[in-house]
Chain A
Amino acid sequence: MTQSVSHGEDYQPVFDGKIMDELQTVLQRYPTKQAALLPTLWIAQREHGWISDRIMAEVAEVLGLTPAYVKGVVTFYTMYHQHPVGKNFVQVCTTSPCNICGAEAVMKALLEQTGAQDAGATSADGKWTIVEVECLGACGFATPVLVNDDFLESVTPEKVPEIVKKYR
């Protein structure tokens, strides 16, 4: 990673060493550098936890794009975090099919028992961010809940204490 662009003195570039090698293999899959933007942002989020303005600038630089362009893409998609989130990022489906099966009660139980209190907010201990999301594509297993990368099926308010205990 070139140090020529100023991201700020304390900035540790994400795309360096092994991660840069990983990026090179990603680039080989596409005929343009721009096409690697989504996977590159995924790598950045995996490494840094969220996509800050400085990360967007670094991603723009490695892919030959402008920071404004990268921001335009980041803000289009819902899964790139534009703010730091809790250690456990929990997505609860509340679209119609899950709603009629009681998704709102699951959401309520999660907010109460994790101390996150409000959808999108992070609990005071920094461990939980709970968000309502649109259809997770598992409507027959209402209510699906995604805890980080773990896809949980058929979650009911009764199962919430167990989930909270497991990931706490």
Chain B
Amino acid sequence: MGYPHKPHPKETVVLSQHFGDVEARTHKGWVKRGGYEALAQALKLEPAAVTDVVKESGLRGRGGAGFPTGLKWSFMPKEKKRPHYLCVNADESEPGTFKDREIMRWTPHALLEGTAIAAHAIRAEVAYIYIRGEFTEPWTIIERALAEANAAGVFGTIKVYLHRGAGAYICGEETALMNSIEGKRGNPRIKPPFPAAAGLFGMPTTINNVETLAAVPHILTRGAAWYKGLCLSNPKSTGTKLFSVCGNVQRPGNYEVTMGFPLKDLLYDMCGGPPAGRTLKACIPGGSSVPILTREETEACLLDYEGVVEKGSMLGSGGVIVFDDSADMVYQIMRLARFYAHESCAQCTQCREGTAWTTKIMERILAGQGKTKDLDLLLDLSENMTGKTICVLSDSCAAPVVSGIKKFRGEFEAYLAGKRPVPVMVS
């Protein structure tokens, strides 16, 4: 659902508080809404003290991995001998995810403020915000906000620059993003060394997601204890999270809820459930790279890092893709495999060959030319694509395939028997 819209009563509105409010985009409007107070507060503290507050809050990376943010910041060298860099990952490209786009469109200063606070905490003098090339509107809005913030001198000695991507999903992987800023092909790097030791331009670097940084100002002004208290299920997952819901639901869009919120309530109460006359068949809860959940698993799933793992998937980026009973799971999984085949950077054999081969086999099955052994072949192939490459793109291709065959085997077998399992495709 677009903005402005009235938040659902079950939402916990923190990051999305000013979504739809055009005035909040301006520096003046942002200051009027309490903006840049957190930055002023942070600049009075020692960098390590800022990191401690974020550590204490329990904030974890919202880009997908869920790594504790304060801990990540604390990996930066204590003694500063070389330039430090901050990279902001605004390369939002994970199918099903569109939350960072909304943060940048409506509250660009929240991102800029979080960026400046993080740069102070890790003692970086330069921050690069890497925005995917297709995000023309967020780019324009951030660019204007940055010019205003610079004119108002809010960043002090910290320099913030925008860097435009040019169409490559893989550049959302942290080391690929750094290569892309350096003017290289976006190939992920072998780790170690980790970015805190040798990142952008070989210097100590921290990289954070847009949503992670947008949460930081709230943590500083309202306190770590307040943020930690935003928790409905597991104390390891705190705060609020924006969930992007798309696919077969009546009211797609971004919804902000407290960690531990039931996925069932998100899909049925907030999003209105599947279209009239349809029933829920499956759901991918954390962007296309995570395993598919069945209806039963979906309806019993709690939305936090641990809750989704318990049901056999991952929270990932919070991109929720919903499939109703008209969806052809074999076709949809092929479509996802094709995405990964298209986006593979092609440096690792398992990924370059595996994603393409997976797509080919899936297409063969869909064309009615599948062989009985194809399912075992796909599973075998997926196993060889998991945990064996420089980055996890290859694993991400395997996740929907393996979970899809396991949970919707009947649909695959129907194709193998020469029947289309789902007669109605959504037109």
Contact = CB atoms under 8 A, between A and B. Distances in A.
B164 A42 contact: yes
Contacts of A95: 95, 288, 335-336, 339
Contacts of A140: 1, 98, 244-246, 252-254
B180 A38 contact: yes
Interface stretch (A13-21, A28-36, A116-124): A28-36
A79 interface: yes
Give the residue among B166, B186, B248 with the most A Cβ atoms within 10 A.
B166
A100 B332 contact: yes
B163 interface: yes
A149 B136 contact: yes
Contacts of B323: 100
A137 B93 contact: yes
Contacts of A32: 182-183, 201
A55 interface: no
Interface in B139-189: 161, 163-169, 180-186
A137 B185 contact: no
Q: How large is the interface on B (under 10, 10 to 19, 20 to 34, 35 or more residues)?
A: 35 or more
A151 interface: yes
Contact of B167 (A77, A94, A100, A149): A77
Interface string B328-348: 000010011001001101000
Given A76-B186, A137-B92, A38 B98 contact: no
B321 A97 contact: yes
B4 interface: no
Nearest to A96: B335
A160 B69 CA distance: 44
A83 B137 CA distance: 25
A72 B166 CA distance: 14
A35 B200 CA distance: 10
A3 B137 CA distance: 37
B335 A139 contact: no
A101 interface: yes
Contact of B168 (A31, A37, A78): A78
B70 interface: no
A22 interface: no
Given A38-B166, A42-B164, A76-B168, A102 B97 contact: no
Contacts of A34: 182-184
Interface string B232-269: 00000000000011111000111000000000000000
Contact of A139 (B1, B137, B180, B246): B246
Top-7 shortest CB links A-B = A37-B183, A78-B167, A79-B167, A77-B166, A139-B246, A140-B252, A76-B185
29 contacts: A30-B181, A32-B183, A34-B182, A35-B182, A35-B201, A38-B163, A39-B164, A41-B166, A42-B166, A63-B183, A77-B168, A79-B165, A97-B96, A100-B332, A101-B246, A105-B427, A136-B134, A137-B97, A137-B101, A139-B96, A139-B97, A139-B98, A140-B245, A140-B246, A141-B252, A146-B136, A149-B136, A151-B134, A151-B135
